[in-house]
Amino acid sequence: MLSYKESLKILKETNALMEGHFILSSGLHSTKYVQCAQLLSKPQYSKKICESLADKIKNEFRDINLILSPAMGGIIIGYEIGKLLNINTIFSERVNGAFTLRRDFIIPKNINVLIVEDVITTGKSSLECSELVKKAQANVLGYACIIDRSNGKSFIKEKIISQIELNISTFEANNIPKELEKVKAIKPGSRGL
């Protein structure tokens, strides 16, 4: 398994972890921004991260029957973990603002489902996926991600298996540190451009 230091190095080398002044989709400001799509677009690096995460998942969970990921960010990582563990993988998509299963995906009754995504911050997407599992009368085994940046403040009460935990400070727009005010703010991400 990769160490924290090795994982952090890969995230920085692939620009999956950027430093600067960022306005997050929540409106909060931060000195760091996580963009796992950059990591996942580079197979030679993402393979190492995924293999290490798969090993952690194997050590933590038994009898996984299905992996469920939220679209968009979770699709690639869910697929890669499913491939490494030889477990079928499906994903949910937003329809009218709510996650749903499309493309003839189903969650059979009474199976064990692991929810996998790229980054967990609040855990809302993962919890929305868990509602689909419960509705299907199946079991949520747990949650896994490449990066857990929840700082212990996730809505998920169960343990989160991650490749790396990052404690990233955020600031209200009216309470930005003076040194951060000097750096031009950019708004990256899926909702910012």
On whether residue 68 sits in a domain, the answer given is yes
On whether residue 24 sits in a domain, the answer given is yes
On whether residue 189 sits in a domain, the answer given is no
On whether residue 192 sits in a domain, the answer given is no
On whether residue 191 sits in a domain, the answer given is no
Domain of residue 156, CATH code: 3.40.50.2020
On whether residue 193 sits in a domain, the answer given is no
As a three-state string, the secondary structure of the chain is CCCHHHHHHHHHHCCCEEEEEEECCCCCEEEEEECHHHHHCCHHHHHHHHHHHHHHHHHHCCCCCEEEEECCHHHHHHHHHHHHHCCCEEEEEEECCEEECCCCCCCCCCCEEEEEEEEECCCHHHHHHHHHHHHCCCEEEEEEEEEECCCCCCCCCCCEEEEEECCCCEECHHHCCHHHHCCCCECCCCCCC
On whether residue 141 sits in a domain, the answer given is yes
The boundaries of the domain holding residue 11 are 4-181
Residue 123 pLDDT: 83
pTM of the predicted model as reported, rounded to 2 decimal places: 0.86
On whether residue 190 sits in a domain, the answer given is no
Q: What average pLDDT values come out for the chain (193 residues) when binned by 10 residues?
A: 94 93 84 91 94 96 94 90 96 91 95 94 88 96 92 82 91 88 81 44
The domain total for the chain is 1
Residue 120 pLDDT: 87
